[in-house]
Amino acid sequence: MTERPGPDLTRLRERAVAVLREPFLHFVVLGLLIFAFNAWRGAIGDPSDRRIVVSQAEVQRLVGQWMQTWRRPPTPGEVDALIRDHVKEEVYYREALHLGLDRNDEVVRRRMRAKMEFLAVSQLEQQTPADATLQAWLDSHAARYAQGTRYSLDQVYVAARPGDGKAAERAAATLHRLAGGADWHRAGDPLDAPAHVDAADAAALTATFGPDFAEAISSLPVGTWSGPVRSGLGLHLVRLRQVQPGHPPRLAEVRQTVENDWRAATLARRETDGYQALLNAYDVRIEQPR
Amino acid sequence: MTGFSRSALLAGAAVLALALGGCSRSGQTSAALKAPSLADTAVAAVPENTFPDQVYWGDTHLHTMNSTDAILFGSRLTPEDALRFARGEKVRSSTGIDAQLERPLDFLVVSDHSEGIGTGRELFNGNPAFMADPTLKRWHDLMLGSAGDQETAARELIGAFTHQKLPAPLLNLGNVIRIGSSTWEQQLATVERYNTPGKFTAFIGYEYTSTPKGNNLHRIVIFRDGADKVGRIQPFSSISSPNPEKLWAFLSNYEQTTGGKVLAIPHNGDLSNGLMFALTDFEGAPLTSDYARRRARWEPLTEVTQIKGDSESHPYLSPDDEFADFGKAGFDQGNLDLSTRKTKDMLAGDYAREALKRGLMLQQKLGTNPFKFGMIGATDNHTALSSAGEKGYMGDDAGVEPGAARASHRQPNAESGLERMGWQFLSGGYTAVWATANTRGAIWDGMMRKEVYGTTGTRLKLRLFGGWDFAPRDLKGNFVEAGYSRGVPMGGDLPAARHKGPPTLMVNVLKDPLGANLDRIQIVKGWVDKEGQTHEHVYNVAWSDPDKRKLDGKGKLPPVGDTVDLAHATYANSIGAAQLSTVWKDPDFDPSVRAFYYVRALEIPTPRWPVYDAVRYGAKLPADARLKDQQRGYSSPIWYDPKA
């Protein structure tokens, strides 16, 4: 027995859904709708244009909006007022359209442009991207999310201002003692920073010691005291205990961040692409002054 | 000792064993360095430390284009841009400059003005509800015009707002609520997406912008909760009531109806013309015990330093304090919009140190101290970019982003004849919170405990503990453990004395690893005598090069020196110290009177942002422009009460 039609159908459906999600399609459909609306508007005698139906759902929406503001249900009188205002708005709206007030009005034009731009991106705001989409994003921006190399180390601090030769000598002498097996806990000057660091990445080291320190330790030998390394705080004698190489993170670990980044980038791209797609359907000529 | 922190990735590992201990003679702890991981939502519970001994940096006060004044000044960046910038991403500014922090922040409160939140954006978009009004149409057109036009629109709108002359459509509740609720809803959704427990905390918040007659009574509101609770309310605005007591009532109602938690932070006392810490309430009546209790409850912190000046102290109030002039020029001449000139009698109601003193006096009278607050710094930028610090100052609004002209930019008030100059703006501050983890709960709790300090943009690391038996030898061991186990951290109350003698304060300040060396640590003491008179004294308690710099008979120190090279906008850390620490005993202690103590830590002189502009853009600086400053940090106080 063959199962072939099943998956094919599924794939077809998936493709259809994907196409339906395409912003370009939305623009086309929207264009058709606007066209249809314009055609329909021409027929002023159409009785449907003279009927305003305020559905139960509409009333519920109005009441819901009201309650969000006032934190209590409206009185019957207030509901009436809401409905009256809604009808008034609808009447004025339709009359304004008949009068063509939407045309050649800078404000309306700007408003509609804003709406179109919003349409291009609004679906994206609601949409929860599939894992595959985010995984693809993660893969193509791997460096951004890579778990950096982690360093475990001990450090002994020697207070030193830049160019302080005596401090450098003191650091050298201390290193000599440490190499000779002296107790590192008792060496050096006090510092309000960890002496014993476990699995810290470059960002964590930078936050505590500054970028120079973070950079310098990557080339130190493992297992022995070395240095001095200059940081934003002074000099440090460092015993690198362990270096754990970085690795690309699993999606589950960084999902929210990836989703935020994907959304921000996709939003910007859709806005540009959406406009470009519409623009492509126009022949734009810019007349030069002679 | 950044210790005791564990990364989210290490969750579950036997890291709890790292609890306090394993300290060395050198005062270093054996603990894991904070190792933030990329892991976010995958980790269900963020591990918390035993003690709140990890410092987290953030900005509690930042505006985006959802703030009406911000978009009028030209900001085109959203709350999302603000969050991305704060967590370290590169973001293109409103005027097209690529900007990125040298180091990311740990938390951010996007705090747009609740007054007509989102309406500026609608004005910009040309919402028809607004365009019928000629003034609003004019502002709309100006917003689409040149930078100068945009600024005109902004100033007119702020003027109209502060003097209750806003065009009717902006006051129409229907409009404001419709726009406001959709903006608020979107903003909450964005903040939720960026809140990453263990790595980056995005707080929900807003600014309540009460400005009676141009006098600044603004408050930042910060929620501990997520959108599930905060989404049930709309932010309270000064359009509903300019009386901050009504804000407290609203916050109280929020907590009761949602089970959530919230606090408020006043800022810019310096622009309040005596009102921020007045001895009377909003209506002019004397303060009551009830007022004191509510204020102390809802306003545990005060933002004392930001772009629009520094409100710690003032030379007129503290004539013996030679460092009190920081961030005063331009900001101590009048109120927020410079519509009313400030008179000397107003100053006492404007500045934090005086307020802390008044608080002791009021406690004597009312039984509760209404001004018992911790101190923080923030930017208050209207650019969506939290860029505190001189080198990377992105401007307080989009009209003054980096360029040659901004230092000499004028902001006049035609009515009063007063004027503020671009160079007078500070580069903005940051807030440091001592907390057990980087989560909304842990950081908010740290704020509520007042275990916080503020800086003028630098990230110096400041610890303060108060107790009765600290001794210099404590600094040689694990002083953090000693501090927490035998005393209270900043923001706390000294416990009852176990024996006679003065309190001891243990303080340690470590320089910003990317910043300037330290000049000195000072302890500011305030107290009230039995007659109800308040007093203050600034003690120099630790300083660099103590072998060369000696206190004189009045307790003053010679200056630390100056390495600033104005031609290149540089300085050298060849003076000052990387770390200063001391255990200090109050030499003038009177056990029978109330007192507070806080730390002010000063860096060596460094160039101000206009100097960087001169080097980078060839800016011509006004002759009177201040070119150097000693950037600083302010701890929250520790209070002493004889009745404790």
Last residue within a domain, chosen from A72, A103, A134:
A103
pLDDT averaged over every residue in chain A: 80
Paired strand residues for B376:
B303
Q: What's the confidence (pLDDT) of residue B155?
A: 82
pLDDT digits 0-9 by tens, A212-257: 999 999 899 999 999 899 999 999 999 999 999 888 888 998 898 9
How are beta strands B632-635 and B595-603 bridged, if at all? antiparallel
Helix (H) or strand (E) holding B71: helix B68-72
**DSSP string computed for A149-196:** -EEEEEEEEE---TT-HHHHHHHHHHHHHHHTT--GGGSS---SS-SE
Shared-domain flag, residues A125 and A174:
no
Range of the domain at A61: 36-103
The residue assigned the tokens 């304090």 is B321
Answer whether residue A232 is part of any domain. yes
* B55: enclosing H helix or E strand: strand B54-62
Distance CA A285, CA B273 (A): 59
Co-location of A53 and A195 in the same domain: no
Q: Please check whether residues A64 and A98 belong to one and the same domain.
A: yes
In this prediction, residue A36 carries a pLDDT of: 52
Burial A226-261 (b: 16+ CB within 10 A, else e): bbbbbbbbbbbbbbbeeeeeeeebebebbbbbbbbb
- For residue B392, give the nearest of B423, B427, B426 by alpha carbon: B427
Contact between B313 and B321 under an 8 Å Cβ cutoff? The reply is yes
The band of A6, judged by pLDDT with boundaries at 50, 70 and 90, is very low
Among chain A residues, CA nearest to B462: A192
Per-residue pLDDT band at A89 (split at 50, 70, 90): confident
Does residue A114 fall inside a structural domain?
yes
Single out the residue in A68, A88, A103 at which a domain terminates.
Answer: A103
> Which residues, other chains included, contact A196 with Cβ-Cβ below 8 Å and sequence gap of 6+?
A154, B22, B28, B29, B30, B31, B32
Q: How far apart are CA B556 and CA B550, in angstroms?
A: 8
- pLDDT exceeds cutoff 80 at A25: no
Q: Chain B residue closest to A159 (CA)?
A: B578
Angle of helix A106-126 versus helix A251-280 axis, rounded to 10: 150
Q: What are the residue ranges of helices labelled H in chain A? A: 5-21, 23-42, 56-70, 76-98, 106-126, 131-140, 142-145, 165-179, 202-209, 211-216, 251-280
Q: Please give the tally of structural domains in chain A.
A: 3
| E-only strand ranges, B387-533 | 410-412, 419-421, 430-435, 452-455, 461-467, 487-489, 504-510, 518-528
For chain B, say whether A262 makes contact (Cβ under 8 Å): no
| pLDDT of the residue at B384 | 98
Of B33, B41, B508, Cβ closest to residue A255: B41
- Judge if A75 and A157 occupy the same domain: no
Q: Tell me the pLDDT band of A12, cut-offs 50, 70 and 90.
A: low
CA dihedral of B269, B274, B279, B280, whole degrees rounded to 10: -110
* pLDDT-derived band at A16, boundaries 50, 70, 90: low
Ranges of chain B with pLDDT below 70: 1-44
Give the model confidence (pLDDT) of A181-220 as tens digits: 999 998 999 999 999 999 999 889 999 999 999 999 989 9
Cβ–Cβ under 8 Å, residues B324 and B318: yes
Residues A157 and A130 in one domain: no
A129 and A257 part of one domain: yes
Asked whether residue A126 is assigned to any structural domain, the reply reads: yes
Residue A222 forms contact with B (CB below 8 Å): no
Tell me the one-letter amino acid at B252: S
**Predicted ipTM?**
0.85
pLDDT of residue B588: 96
Last residue in a domain, options A73, A103, A133: A103
CB-count exposure of residue B442 (10 Å: 0-12, 13-18, 19+): buried
Q: What is the pLDDT of residue B215?
A: 96
Break chain B into its structural domains and give their ranges: 55-445, 460-640
* Chain B contact present for A211, CB below 8 A: yes
Helix orientation angle between A23-42 and A5-21, rounded to the nearest 10 degrees = 60
Query: What average pLDDT does the segment A110-131 reach?
Result: 72
* Residue B167 phi, psi (nearest 5): -55, 150
How buried is A59 (Cβ within 10 angstroms: 0-12 exposed, 13-18 middle, 19+ buried)? middle
The residue with greater pLDDT, A3 or B484, is B484
Nearest-CA distance from B74 to chain A in Å? 18
Residue of B nearest to A254 (CA): B39
Q: Is A117:A247 a contact under the CB 8 Å cutoff?
A: no
Q: Say whether residue A264 is in contact with chain B using an 8 A CB cutoff.
A: yes
Contacts of A233 in chain B (CB under 8 A): 510-511, 513, 578-579
Q: pLDDT digit string (tens) for B334-388?
A: 999 999 999 999 999 999 999 999 999 999 999 999 999 999 999 999 999 999 9
pLDDT band at A8 (very low <50, low <70, confident <90, very high): low
Any domain includes A268: yes
Strand arrangement of the beta sheet that strand A225-230 belongs to:
A196-200, A150-158, A235-244, A225-230
Q: Rg for chain B (alpha carbons), in Å?
A: 24
- Please indicate if any CB of chain B lies within 8 Å of the CB of A192: yes
Minimal-distance CA residue of chain A relative to B545: A161
Distances (CA, A) of A153 to A188, A214, B92, B512, B538: 16, 12, 38, 21, 41
pLDDT attached to residue B299: 98
List the end-to-end C-alpha distance of chain A, in Å, as a whole number: 76
Domain presence at residue A31: no
Q: How far is B581 from chain A (nearest CA, A)?
A: 10
Q: Are B434 and B484 in contact (CB under 8 A)?
A: no
Residue A16: inside a domain: no
Helix (H) or strand (E) holding A235: strand A235-244
Q: Is the pLDDT of residue A35 over 90?
A: no
Residue A11 lies in a domain: no
Return the pLDDT at A47.
47
Q: Best mutation site among A155, A174, A186, A198 for testing chain B: the one with the most B CBs within 10 Å?
A: A198
